[in-house]
Structure 1
Amino acid sequence: MSPLEFQPTPESIPPPNVQYRLQLAPSTAVNYTPLNPISFILRAALIYPNHVALSHRNVATPVEYTYAVWAQRVQNLAYGLIKAGIEPGDRVAVIAPNYAHNGVLAARAVLVCINTRLVKSDIEYILSHSGAKLVLVDHEYAGLVKDCPVPVIVSRDTGRAGDPYETFLSEGRRFSRERGWAGLQLEEEETANATLNYTSGTTGRPKGVMATLRGSYLAAISNAYESKLNINSVYLWVLPMFHASGWTYPWALTFAMAKQVTIRTVDYKAIWGHFLYSGVTHYCGAPTVQISIVNSPEAKRLKTPITAVIAGAAPTAALLEALENLNFQVNHVYGLTETYGPFTRNYDRPEYKSLGLEERARILSRQGHAFAQADEVRVVQIDEEGKRKPGLIDCDFMQPGEIVTRGNIVMKEYYRDPKATEEAFRGGYFATGDVAVKFPDGSISIRDRSKDLIISGGENASSLAIEQELSLHPDVLEVSVVARKHEKWGERAMAFVILHQEAVQKWKGREDEFQKDLINFVKGKLPGFAQPAWVECVSELPKTSTGKIQKTVLRQRAAKL
């Protein structure tokens, strides 16, 4: 990609002989430095000051920042926040496509990442619940914080003088009186709050997940290691940064001193433009996003491979085949907001290469083993209602149970919700709510969310396992399965299916025939109690802002049929 003719604002240029060294508390021992992800960008700016850190081109006023310039802007933001009255531990909310993960931490404040796709009432709830003292908002979403009772700084996303956000940074630089990084103190408690991320709240009000500096630091290193990020990596931001703080990738990338390419929206034409012409090596996305990527009109086989990190659901055999045919290398991970994003990974093995696609897909769809910085993942016994038994008894191999974990990359707490925190941490482990089995090699495979199991005639059917089989039908683009009441069996599976475009005309007016064809397709592959009793073709599936299918909505739809 050709060089960009762009000059950062004068206040974004670091002074000569800049020192990338935060002030340490006088009591800090010589053999101890508190873990804090802000240290990553300082190290990158010191070692590779002229390496492009951020590239933001798909906008009217494109910008690119080197690590030296970006670090100065981070410093300016920190001083600007302090000038605005932000004190250590205060919450700073951000509503924007691209966030301020480093500057807020440099001010020793807590970053509250807010989903840009929420409605105004949800955002008002989060701002109130979090107690945010200041809001940084992109101009596109300024209407969501109209009449907000705390100060609001609007960014027009220009990087040029006259932008209110740029003015805020310039005022921060002047307020610093060139004290530089030495004028900012490194938080001495590494267990201090770092980020406050809110769950999607599909079954009620969203819960605030509080993460620490230590956890963010270690999770970022884990993601950099597990994704094989380095100085030559170019990461494309397809995953929203509001989702579990972008799975800590904002810090994983600065730790690796990699280049980041940002886009304002999930535009598949723009995404493929970057795949083909921006040297992209890595990106993250849920399977629903990956399906749209491989089926985009712009899709073509890549000359050099790109690592596709997949989480949110297991990739199907059809999706794996499509990605591999286009020269994507799949890295399947699993995690939750409460675990800083991914904490397990499916580790590929040489012997898998000799397997057929369908068998290999079954293995690669497992959630695998715990990350480098995480404790061993466990599967513990559950009772008839799907609740974990007291004492956390490990399941036998292939016995369904609940995934629990503990350790360095588990949240600190649910903010202002001690009851929910106590329940989630009961027995000394964090309970994920996911039902899985463990294989003899120690890897785990999710069978379902506990609430998504289909109990048919006393048998537990996994909606995920059913979806895996249905997705192998050549006409199925995407499928989601939920329970629907059945007079005889209590519940049976109902499948909501999006057809491939070329199959839409094939089955038009013959939906009943397609239902029979699809059910016949999985006979012999699924036991009778797991075979879908109903199939409905739909043009789209309800999804969250992060691309996860909203099964709650589908269950409500099925209940009315």
Structure 2
Amino acid sequence: MPSTFSPTPASIPPKSPRLALRQPKGLPANFQPLNPLQFILRAAEIYPDKLALVHSDVKYPVHYSFAVWCQRIQNLAYALIQAGINPGDRVAVIAPNSPLIADAHHGVLAAQAVPCLINTRLKPSEVAYILDHSASSIILVDHEYTHLLPPTLKVRVIVSNDTGRSGDPYEEFLSSGRAYSQERGWAGLEYNPDENAPATLCYTSGTTGRPKGVVTTLRGSYLAAVANAYESRIHLESTYLWILPMFHAAGWTFPWANVFGFATQITLRTVDYPLIWKHFLNSAVTHYCGAPTVQIGIVNDPAAKRLPRPISAIVAGAAPTASLIASLEKIGIQPIHVYGLTQYGPFTRNFAQPSWASLSPQDRSTFMARQGHPFATAQDARVVHPPKDGDDTLVDVPRDGKTVGEIVTRGNIVMKEYFRDPEATAKAFRGGEIDFYHILHKLIFWSTGSFNTGDLAVIHPDGAIAIVDRSKDIIISGGENASSLAIEQELASHPCVLEVSVVARNHVKWGERPHAFVILRPKSIAKWKGRHDAFEKELKAHAKGRLPGFACPEWVQVVDELPKTSTGKILKVDLRKIVAKL
């Protein structure tokens, strides 16, 4: 980082500040509501001078210690309160990985408000819907994404030019917060007395209709962050590289997990593989998160090579193939395979067993591709039979690794509700009831059941869960259920396949048959140029030796790219639209 950078005057904390919020009245001495805001205060107290946040690959690089960053977060809280934000209000945030969105994960909570984190890849019409549905009271937006805002807005908009320098509208907003605080410091802000109050509001992609707003809680976010730090082994010497967007499920709670572990965080505005490798090789990176498609891009980048030190990759968003796991390990990237939802992110992990060390790489990778067991702070993760008509009783499938059921879960790392949508909330929970109560003029509801994930899986004798597919992605061919995931796993083992996605396509005789979309490895493109028909025959022959006949692809289509979400997850809904026209 350039030594010439200096934080704005308002970002410099006073000497020996008291880093504690004002405690609400009436709390017993043996109870403290859980809140991930505690982590930044603790980090600034214990390691004030440690490098906390680095934003280097931009026109105006910045870097903040925990002490300085903590002051900036405090300034944001006061600025929001000065702007009229009340406890429970939503604060919309539209930004790539940058100090703005990193600040918001803490500063909005400090104002007892709720960050509404919006995907920067959405269309203006989708952003307008979210802003309206969330009833956001103020908008914090990065300068590159102001075009997403509706032309007529009735709420205040704060633009960040991502400079960290005086004169930047966002920096001036923070400075106004510092002035408004009158140096009351953290003691002038009250600790949220309700650990079940909303922590974040993140909207689903809306692939099956309007996006739904997922509400998480302070308690759940705290426990999910602690679990992620523990399961990923994030600690004082860790350096985390931000590849996963922080707006996606609140960055799987890693904006808090990293602070809990006192790690240094490096932010990247975009997924740029040369930049990623620059940091891998020169910035002492120890951890990052990414979906399998992002991992594929990393291992196949021209700069990819054996790393001088191991890096842990938290892999989620889709099940990694055995060949991908082997490719990561080959260059010194240790995959930590986790599984989760668009809520808090991961809640299960594949826990490696000592006996796997004696297995062949292929066999070991197959075991590592399972979704595993619940996190330390999670609760149940069960695989249950489909419900019978009129009966919501949960019946577990046998632990035989063969019987397919749906994953359901309950416990600390499960969303609270869908925002302003009690019907969708009730539908999402099974095996219990949604109870509604009016408490202090607020509508409170919670579930006594389990959350339906929609993921189909088996459970092995050791209790490890292994996903076979999403319920909507199962291909029913001639009365047989074919897992698109299982097909993809086997097709990905072909040496010329870089990436593959399989969807159902209508078939006159069999009802449905698999249609495979394939991206070739860069080294194989020339080999099959003008000969895609020949490649299709070869891949089908490869599949026949590994899959039952009904699961073998009927069609193979070579493509240059696949439609993906902001996290790199393949949009199968777009692929289904393509095959529907064929």
Per the normalisation by structure 1, the TM-score is 0.98
Q: Displacement of 1:266 after TM fit?
A: 0.8
Are residue 361 (structure 1) and residue 365 (structure 2) matched?
yes
Q: Which residue is 1:154 aligned to?
A: 159
Indicate the SS of the match to 1:506: coil
Q: Kindly provide the amino acid, as one letter, of the partner of residue 12 in structure 1.
A: S
1:270 is aligned, of 275, 289, 295, to 275
What's the secondary structure of 2:526's corresponding residue? helix
Measure the CA separation in 1 of the matches of 2:146 and 2:536: 46
> What stretches of structure 1 of length at least 5 have no aligned partner?
none
SS in 2 for 1:20: coil
Residue 342 (str. 1) matches residue 346 (str. 2): yes
Contact 2:198 2:215 in 1 (8 A): yes
State whether residues 238 and 285 of structure 2, in contact with CA within 8 Å, keep that contact through their aligned partners in structure 1. Answer: yes
**Would the aligned equivalents of 2:326 and 2:362 in 1 still touch at CA under 8 Å?**
no
Partner of 2:212: 207
> Counterpart in 1 of 2:199?
194
Gaps of 5+ in 2: 432-448
**1:313 partner amino acid:** A
Deviations 1:81-110 (A, max 9, x none): 000000000000000113110000000000
- Contact 1:388 1:402 (8 Å CA) reproduced: no
Of 561, 572, 580, the residue aligned with 1:540 is 561
Selected match of 1:261 from 266, 271, 274: 266
After the TM superposition, which of the residue ranges 142-151 and 46-55 deviates more from structure 2?
142-151
How far apart are 1:3 and its partner, in Å?
5.9
Choose the corresponding residue for 2:547, options 526, 531, 538. 526
Check if 1:40 corresponds to 2:44: no
Q: Which whole-Å deviations, capped at 9, do the CAs of 1:2-31 have from their partners, x for residues lacking one?
A: 664311111101111200010011211111
1:388 Cα offset (Å): 11
Q: How does 1:48-197 map to 2 (within 5 A)?
A: 48-97=47-96, 98=98, 99=101, 100-145=104-149, 146-197=151-202
3-state DSSP of counterpart to 1:226:
helix
1:426 aligned to 430, 434, 444, which one? 430
**Is residue 474 from structure 1 mapped to residue 473 from structure 2 by the alignment?**
no
Distance (whole Å) between structure 2 residues aligned to residue 487 and residue 355 of structure 1: 44
Deviation of the 1:390 alpha carbon: 2.3
Give the Cα–Cα distance (whole angstroms) in 2 for the partners of residues 91 and 299 of structure 1.
Answer: 42
> Of 360, 365, 377, which residue of structure 1 is paired with 2:381?
377
Q: Is contact 1:4–1:64 with CA below 8 Å preserved after alignment? A: no
Q: Give 1:391's aligned residue.
A: 393
Structure 1 residues 365 and 126: alpha-carbon distance in aligned structure 2, compared to 1, 3 A threshold: same
Residue 473 (structure 2) aligns with: 452
Cα distance in 2, alignment partners of residues 501 and 258 from structure 1: 36
What residue is the counterpart of 2:439 in the other structure?
A: none
Identify the match of residue 410 of structure 2 among 401, 406, 409.
Answer: 406
CA distance in 2, matches of 1:502, 1:192: 52
For 2:357 and 2:80, the matched residues in 1 are separated by: 52
Q: CA deviation at 1:249?
A: 0.4
Separation (CA, whole Å) in 2 of partners of 1:3 and 1:309: 30
2:443 match:
none
Distance 1:546 1:44 in 2: 28
The answer to whether the Cα contact below 8 Å between 1:222 and 1:372 also exists between their aligned partners in 2 is yes
Q: In the TM superposition, what is the alpha-carbon distance from 1:62 to its structure 2 partner?
A: 0.5
Separation in 1 of the partners of 2:115 and 2:42?
21
* Cα separation, 1, equivalents of 2:143 and 2:190: 31
Separation in structure 2 between the aligned mates of residue 214 and residue 4 of structure 1, nearest angstrom: 39
Residues 383 and 470 of structure 1, relative CA distance in 2, 3 Å threshold? farther
TM-score normalized with structure 2 length: 0.94
Instruction: After TM superposition, give the deviation of residue 326 of structure 1 in Å.
Output: 1.0
Q: How much has 1:32 moved relative to structure 2?
A: 0.9
Structure 1 residue 396, shift from structure 2 partner: 1.2
Distance of aligned partners of 1:185 and 1:383 in 2 relative to their CA distance in 1, 3 Å threshold: closer
| Aligned counterparts of 1:389 and 1:9: Cα–Cα separation in 2 | 61
Give the C-alpha shift of residue 285 in structure 1. 0.3
Q: Distance in 1 between matches of 2:180 and 2:152?
A: 28
Do the aligned partners of residues 389 and 503 (structure 1) sit closer, same or farther apart at CA in structure 2, a change above 3 Å counting? farther
Question: In the alignment, residue 216 of structure 2 is paired with which amino acid?
Answer: A
RMSD: 1.2
Query: Could you tell which deviates more after superposition, 476-485 or 317-326?
Result: 317-326
Q: Deviations over 1:139-172 (max 9, x none)?
A: 1111222432210000011111000000000000
Q: Is the 8 Å Cα contact of residues 221 and 413 (structure 2) preserved in structure 1?
A: yes
Aligned residues, how many? 557
Counterpart pick for 1:316 among 287, 303, 321: 321
Instruction: Find the partner of 1:461 among 457, 461, 482.
Output: 482
Please identify runs of 4+ aligned residues in structure 1 that moved more than 2 A. 2-5, 387-390
Conservation of the 8 A alpha-carbon contact between 2:387 and 2:393:
no
Q: Distance in 2 between matches of 1:508 and 1:144?
A: 40
What's the counterpart of residue 223 of structure 1? 228
Please tell me whether residue 494 in structure 1 is matched to residue 496 in structure 2: no
Letter in 1 for 2:207: T
1:457–1:489 Cα contact (<8 Å) kept: yes
Q: Which residue of 1 aligns with 2:444?
A: none
CA contact (8 A) 2:490 2:543 kept: yes
The letter of the residue matching 1:342 is P
- Are 2:239 and 2:265, in contact at CA under 8 Å, matched by a contact in 1? yes
Alignment-derived partner of residue 306 in structure 1 = 311
CA contact (8 A) 1:311 1:332 kept: yes
Give, as a single letter, the amino acid of the residue that structure 2 aligns with 1:417: D
Partners of 1:310 and 1:491 lie apart in 2 by 31
Cα distance, 1:376 vs structure 2: 2.4
CA distance in 1, matches of 2:354, 2:398: 27
CA distance in structure 2 between the partners assigned to 1:544 and 1:202 by the alignment: 11
Aligned-pair identity (%): 63
Partner of 2:295: 290
What one-letter code is carried by the residue in structure 2 that aligns with 1:556?
Answer: K
Structure 1 residues 163 and 293: CA distance shift in structure 2, 3 A? same
1:389: how far off? 6.0
**Distance in 2 between residues matched to 1:133 and 1:315, nearest whole Å:** 40
User: After superposition, what is the alpha-carbon deviation per residue over 1:431-471, rounded to whole angstroms, capped at 9, x for unaligned?
Assistant: 00000000000000101000000111111110000000000
